[in-house]
Amino acid sequence: MPKSKRNRVVPLSRVTKKGPGEKKERQVKNIHKYLKQYKYCYAFTYKNMTNIAMNSLKEYFNDSIFMIGKNHVMQVGLGKNEEEESKEGSSKLNKYLKGNCGLFFTDKEPDDIISYFKEYSSPYFGNVGSISNQTLILKRGFDEHLADFPSSMESQFRQLGMNIKVDDGKFCLLDDYVVCQEGKALTPDQSKMCKHLGINLDEFKIYIKAYLGNNGQFKEVEAEDN
């Protein structure tokens, strides 16, 4: 007699979630591995990081590794003292792992890396909550800031709080529109509008603070180089 489908037990696959402890342990192991794999380890700080800019850097340095995580975990990976350090002198980098910071593992020479990041910057248009360094108010009427936008953007502009209409294919503001105000935090709508208008409130910048070579060579980067 055939078995009833109602009584059939269907095994459910289990997905074991990795806890925070496992992630930390994996990051520490990766630091140990990268210290052996790459010629240099650079400690850096940064300001105004964005995913787009960071991903662009990762693509440019596709033969290297950027690591950004909890500072304490990175310090453990390097070794909190000389007895625990992952390789000779690695614990010396710990004092630079404060605030917004990270590690950069690469075979590229210090002169090239320091010079590159001294010149490098990427526009930062401001995320929600960023403090604006300028005031921009679009004036009622045919404001020049909207002159190059296609009329198909009308619904998007309305969603951002603009009182607007299209007149002869051009945008006409029925009221003044505040894009940003100096000293005030950006709202979600203001942040999106800053990106639409290409308003650069600041820059994404990385500062190399010190580096360690695989031969134990350690050097702090001078303040003027930052």
**pLDDT tens for residues 98-111?**
999 999 999 999 99
Tokens of 124: 């930062």
What is the per-residue pLDDT for 10? Answer: 52
Q: Look-up: residue for tokens 């404060």?
A: 98
* CA angle, residues 107, 63, 75, in degrees to nearest 5: 65
Question: What's the CA gap between 62 and 58, in Å, rounded?
Answer: 6
| Residue 185 DSSP one-character state | B
SS3 107: coil
Question: Residue 28: which of 64, 68, 75, 94 has the closest Cα?
Answer: 75
Question: What's the CA gap between 212 and 90, in Å, rounded?
Answer: 7
Tell me the backbone φ, ψ of residue 37, rounded to 5 degrees. Answer: -75, -35
Question: Residue 90: which of 181, 205, 218, 180 has the closest Cα?
Answer: 218
Distances (CA, A) of 184 to 70, 108, 123, 187: 29, 41, 19, 9
SS3 174: coil
Q: Does the pLDDT at position 133 exceed 70?
A: yes
52 or 14, greater pLDDT: 52
Q: Does the pLDDT at position 2 exceed 60?
A: no
Question: Residue 160: which of 135, 191, 185 has the closest Cα?
Answer: 191
Band of pLDDT at residue 116, cut at 50, 70 and 90: very high
Report the share of the chain in percent with pLDDT over 90: 63
Per residue in 141-189, pLDDT (tens digit) is 999 999 999 999 999 999 999 999 999 889 999 999 999 999 999 999 9
Q: Which are the contacts of 32, defined by CB distance < 8 A and separation ≥ 6?
A: 77, 86
Entry pTM:
0.72
What is the per-residue pLDDT for 9? Answer: 55
Are 179 and 66 a contacting pair, CB within 8 Å? no
Report the share of the chain in percent with pLDDT over 70: 85
* CA angle, residues 95, 97, 98, in degrees to nearest 5: 95
Tokens of 20: 């925070």
